[in-house]
Amino acid sequence: MIKSLEELQKIKETQLEAIRLREADQKAKIVVGMGTCGIAAGAREVMSAILDELGKRRLTNVAVTQTGCIGLCAQEPLVDVILPGKPRVTYGKVDANKARQIVAQHIVNGIVISEWVVNRGEE
């Protein structure tokens, strides 16, 4: 328990530092579809893998959020990535492994993994 709290304190310090550094910077955003369709298809495992990957890489400038069913149930789990100033990119049939690669390639390197994309927002 005490160790966990020390760890939380460290996360807090890193996070505060990041907030200071990026004052004007916009955040990247990851959205996971968390309707019943998403949950049944494995959206929670996808979310969990994304959180683990962001935690390991200490990526503090990424907001993680969720949405309900958007009517693309057959493509669930769905993950949207929105980089600052870029249109929304939606990945379909994501699993934990793909989710980790999306963090590494798209969030970190800014490279869209085209073969998994099911939809793109307007430029």
Partner 1 sequence: MEELALHILDLLENALAAGARHILITIEEDEGRDLVTIEVRDDGRGMGAEALQKAVDPFYTTRATRKVGLGLPLLQATAAQCGGDVFLESRPGQGTRVVATMQLSHPDLPPLGDMGATIAAALSREEPVELVYYHRRGQKEFKFSSTWLQLHLGEIPLNCGPVLDWVQRYINKGVAELYGGEGK
d(CA 6, CA 31): 29
Stretch that binds partner 1, among 49-57, 76-84, 87-95, 113-121 (CB under 8 A): 49-57
Residues 100-119 that bind partner 1 (CB under 8 A): none
d(CA 51, CA 60): 11
Smallest gap from residue 39 Cβ to partner 1 (A): 6
CB 30 within 8 A of CB 80: yes
Choice from 6, 20, 24, 71 touching partner 1 (CB under 8 A): 71
Q: By 3-state DSSP, what share of the chain in percent is helix, strand and coil, each rounded to 5?
A: 50, 20, 35
Choice from 22, 64, 111, 120 touching partner 1 (CB under 8 A): 64
Instruction: Verify binding: residue 99, partner 1, rule CB under 8 A.
Output: no
Instruction: Verify binding: residue 55, partner 1, rule CB under 8 A.
Output: yes
